Chain A
Amino acid sequence: MKQKALGLLRRAGILILVVWTVVSLVTLLIELVPGDPAIAVLGDQATPEQLAQFRVKHGLDRPPFFFGFPQNAEGQHHFRWYGLDNRYTDYWVAILHGDLGRSFRTDRPVVDLILERYPATIELAFAALLIAVCIAIPLGVVAGKNRGALIDNALSVVALVGISLPGFVIGPMLVYVFAVKLGWLAPSGRFDWSDIILPAFTLGAALSAILTRMVRSSVIEELGEDYVRTARAKGLSERTVVYKHVLKNGLIPVVTVLGLQLGILLAGAIITEKIFGWPGLGLLLVEDGIAKRDYRVVQGCVLAISTTYILANLLTDMVYRRLDPRIRVS
């Protein structure tokens, strides 16, 4: 019991450390901008007064960190301690107040922008996950049951092709077929329920290929277990054996992969949202953040996506432990 509590405490400690580092990295990203961020945002045409006003407004006139190495009059760098009065502390205070700063362009709180777009991304990710699982389980089971047969080899090749085809190739091709040629679905936007079909399929395709391979090898492994022989020996139909016994155990490793794949899904959503003009976090990041050099929006989006990913991984880990008592005990 004591050991269990210690283990939990250690994991929680590492998690907090990781989150702290991720937030710090994101906070300090703006220091990477070559030259002056104010000029990058306002352009070369801005007057010195406008630039100065912008810097004051967004805190860019303040030191970036607790200490720095500014140049003195002779042009030499020297160590200087700024104390708590710095941008890094400001950002942390703001985050703890649930505020991610104001957009450099629209002056709206970044948190509002993110909350507006967040549901669309989650909706897309879940739809993609659903499509991937619905494709992967039957195909994986068929391939695993017929290991080595023609259908297994064919499915393996299809899965590898699926993994190799990136979303930005599948997406526009789907647009070409279903929007341009057949005219069945809209090429972009999020107005009608059917608008999610193409983006979700684009995002879910690669995942379904990875999951199919996973389910296949899981099924193969489980089919060799003693309990399968017992189930067959007591006269259960092959269908019941596979779907009630094998799949139940075989899906445990698949759950972990699902959790880990969520990162690929969230990163892939950035590209998918751009292809289909899907108004989620990815589009906010690419079009409002990166393209318009609204660094605050970029910071906010990166933070929101990474936090979602970290939380999803934590959740997967917990579900995994619940599903498989052997891990709980060890």
Chain B
Amino acid sequence: MNRLGIIGGVIVIVFVLVAVFAPWIATHDVGATNLTIRYMSPSAAHWCGTDSTGRDIFSRLVFGARISLEVGIVVVAVSAFVGTIIGAIAGFYGGWIDRFMSGYFFNVFLAFPGLLLAIALVAFLGAGLNKLIFALCIIGWVGYARLIRAQVLKVREFDFVQAARALGAGDLRILFVHILPNAIQPLIVQASLGMAGAVLSEASLSFLGLGVPPPAPSWGVMIEEARDLSTLQAAPHALIFPGLAIALTVLAFNFIGDGLREYLDPRQRAR
């Protein structure tokens, strides 16, 4: 894998470890406010400084990683699973099922621009972590479905599939034992980019007040709280650190996705 991919991998490992061991890494209570120490610059006591209510930014970032990781993993796992099943069925059976799925059903979900459907769903359902995850899964699965459909369309024409059919294997066995394992490789790239997208979407929705409600230390919430002019003036670090955390995490997953794509596709390696 290329160098950037490896750098991405290292960052992601650090991110996962921080999220898992958050209670041991955090230096302060994430919710403890103290107005006497608000807007403090980074120091030995508060590594990333304090925010407008005197909370320790470093500890909040550490616990924020948990929220991002949880949303990312659940959204990618559920979307990839649902998308794979739907895409595989559309690609394998073809005919009117495929025409309905890829011609109509996929297009309905693609007719809403990116985040808009998630925003709309959460706006009506009400804010909250589970609703946010649900909304992101609703918009997420179609990317996987399209990918797997295209892959299955290609793989089902291979000789070994014909051979399996000649040996009397049933549809389900052919699809799940023979076709899918050979069609699933690009899904890894998509899942890596999907993690980046999910982390970004969670932060975006939380920023809009539609995700995890404050005072939960979501990175999006932290940015929203840090962007009023008085906080910007007094403590720009309250904005910079969560911004860096989001950018670094998203960048790392994008690096991995790009690296994997190049690794899996020899034609791209030369470029």
**Interchain CB contact under 8 A, A172 and B232:** yes
- Secondary structure of the A contact surface, majority rule: helix
How far is the CB of A269 from the nearest CB of chain B, in Å? Answer: 9
0/1 per residue, B219-260, Cβ < 8 Å to A?
010011011010011001001100100111011001100100
Q: Which stretch (B19-27, B57-65, B108-116, B176-184) binds chain A?
A: B108-116
Contacts of A309 in B (CB 8 A): 111-113
Q: Are A306 and B113 in contact (CB under 8 A)?
A: yes
How long is the Cα–Cα vector from A172 to B222 in the complex, in angstroms? 12
| Those of B90-119 within 8 Å (CB) of chain A | 103-104, 107-108, 111-116, 119
Contact A160 B124, beta carbon cutoff 8 Å: no
Does B17 belong to the interface (CB within 8 Å)?
no
Stretch at the interface among B33-41, B156-164, B165-173, B199-207: B199-207
- Minimum CB distance partner of B223 in chain A: A168
Known: A160-B254, A262-B113. A271 touches B108 (CB 8 A): no
A-side contacts of B239, CB under 8 Å? 169, 172-173, 176
8 Å CB interface, A246-301 against B: 262-267, 270-271, 274-275, 285-286, 289-291, 295, 298
- Using A18-B108, A169-B243 as known contacts, say yes or no to A220 and B271 having CB atoms under 8 A apart: yes
Interface of B is mostly: helix
Partner of B113, one of A157, A165, A266: A266
Contacts of A169 in B (CB 8 A): 223, 239, 243, 246-247
A268 to chain B, nearest CB (A): 8
Name the contact of B204 in the complex, choosing from A21, A164, A166, A217 (C-beta under 8 A). Answer: A166
Is residue B123 contacting chain A, with contact meaning CB distance below 8 A? yes
Residues of chain A within 8 A (CB-CB) of B243 are 165, 169, 172-173
- CB distance B271 to A34 under 8 Å? no
Q: Which of A22-30, A60-68, A103-111, A321-329 contacts B (4 or more CB under 8 A)?
A: A22-30
Query: In the complex where A17-B104, A166-B204 touch, is A172 in contact with B115 (Cβ < 8 A)?
Result: no
Known A163-B254, A168-B204: A180·B229 in contact at CB below 8 Å = yes
Q: Which B-chain residue is minimally distant from A187 (CB atoms)?
A: B229
Given known contacts A14-B107, A164-B254, A274-B208, is B124 in contact with A173 (CB within 8 Å)?
no
Give 1 or 0 for each of A5-39: 1 = CB within 8 Å of chain B CB: 00000000010011101100110011011100000
Nearest Cβ in chain B — how far from A260, in angstroms? Answer: 9
A141 at the interface (CB under 8 A from B): no
Q: How far is the CA of A153 from the CA of B196 in the complex (A)?
A: 22
User: In the complex, which residues of chain A have a beta carbon less than 8 angstroms from the beta carbon of B207?
Assistant: 168, 271
Minimum Cβ distance to chain B for residue A234 (Å): 28
Of A25, A163, A171, A291, the contact of B209 (CB 8 Å cutoff): A291
Looking at the assembled complex, report how far the CB atom of A237 sits from the nearest CB atom of chain B, in whole angstroms. Answer: 26
- Measured between alpha carbons, how far is A171 from B223 in the docked complex, in Å? 11
List B contacts of A274 (CB < 8 A): 208
A166 CB contact (under 8 Å) in B112, B124, B246: B246
* A138→B123 CA distance, assembly (Å): 41
Q: Is the CB of B124 within 8 A of A298?
A: yes
Q: Does A127 contact B (CB under 8 A)?
A: no
> B residues within 8 A CB of A263?
112-114, 116
Size bin of chain A's contact surface: 35 or more
Tell me if B200 and A264 are in contact (CB < 8 A): no
**Chain A residues near B188 (CB, 8 Å)?**
none
Measured CB to CB, the nearest residue on chain B to A29 is B124
Residues in chain B near residue A271, CB distance under 8 A: 204, 207-208
Residues on the A chain within 8 Å of B248, using CB: 164
Q: Taking the complex as formed, is A155 at the interface, i.e. its CB lies under 8 A from any CB of chain B? A: no
Interface size on B, residues (CB 8 A): 47
CB distance from B154 to the nearest CB of A (A): 19
> Is there a chain A Cβ closer than 8 Å to B210's Cβ?
yes
> Bound complex: CA of A165 vs CA of B247, how far in Å?
5
Interface residues of B in 105-143 (CB under 8 A from A): 107-108, 111-116, 119-121, 123-126
On whether A164 and B232 interact (CB within 8 A), knowing A175-B227, A266-B113, A309-B113, the answer reads no
Q: Is the CB of A32 within 8 A of B121?
A: yes
CB-CB under 8 A for A176 and B232, given A26-B120, A290-B210, A298-B120: yes
- B4 interface hit (Cβ, 8 Å): yes
Smallest CB separation, B116 vs chain A (Å): 5
CB of A228 closer than 8 Å to a CB of B: no
Residues of chain B lying within 8 A (CB to CB) of residue A305 = 113, 116
Contact A285 B119 (CB under 8 A): yes
A290 proximity list for chain B (CB < 8 A): 119, 123, 208-210
A114 interface residue per 8 A CB criterion? no
When distances are taken between beta carbons in the complex, the residues of chain A under 8 Å from B115 are 267, 270
Which residues of B are found within 8 Å of A289, using beta-carbon distances?
A: 123
Closest chain A CB from B130 CB (angstroms): 12
A262 / chain B contacts, CB cutoff of 8 Å: 113
> For B103, what are the chain A residues with a Cβ–Cβ distance below 8 Å?
14
Question: A163 contacts which chain B residues (CB < 8 A)?
Answer: 254
Q: Are A266 and B116 in contact (CB under 8 A)?
A: yes
Minimum Cβ distance to chain A for residue B139 (Å): 10
Give 11 CB contacts A-B under 8 Å. Answer: A17-B104, A164-B248, A172-B243, A175-B232, A176-B236, A180-B233, A263-B114, A266-B113, A267-B115, A274-B208, A302-B120
Closest 3 A/B residue pairs (Cβ): A263-B113, A169-B243, A164-B251
- For the A-B complex with A164-B248, A169-B247, A180-B232 known, give 6 more contacts whose Cβ atoms are closer than 8 Å: A34-B125, A164-B254, A165-B243, A166-B203, A298-B123, A302-B116
